[in-house]
Amino acid sequence: MAALIPAADERAGRGGSGYDPRMSKLLLNLRNVPDDEIDEVRAMLESNRIEFYETLPSRWGISYGGIWITDDNDIAQAKRLMADYQAARRTRVRAEREAALRDGTADTFATVLRREPLRVLLTVLAILAMLGLVALVPVLLMRH
């Protein structure tokens, strides 16, 4: 009798994967992605006429949003374009960093310390406080 009743995945048209095949696919999670990269990815998708939409980050930082491809037929091309884009960006950004290091314009600890001394001081104090707490736990546990 069970063979006569289609599985839930088959009834929903999911083909056994648990997801509807018409569902959009995530191309880029926007966690820690700089704004210029997001703009470049949008432009790349638009210039190649790939339909996409974006989700916004959640209010409490649980989700950082993403760029989603809406048409299954475009996923392979979008992933290929994204791989090419990321390889080119990696090369360009590394060259820019090397040039900044040569020119002396790259951020170093010393330049950040001069520019934002209070932030650096508070960060160092927070690190020391955390190390102190981590070191204190074994001492407290050994007392009992």
The domain locations on the chain are: 2-106, 112-144
d(CA 100, CA 96): 6
What is the token pair recorded at 62?
């649980």
Contact 67, 28 (CB under 8 A): yes
List the beta bridge partners of residue 52: 69
The whole model's pTM is what?
0.66
SS3 90: helix
Q: Please, which pLDDT band fits residue 69 given cuts at 50, 70 and 90?
A: very high
d(CA 41, CA 99): 24
Q: What is the DSSP letter of 104?
A: T
Question: pLDDT tens, 15-51?
Answer: 555 556 678 899 999 999 999 999 999 999 999 999 9
d(CA 84, CA 72): 20
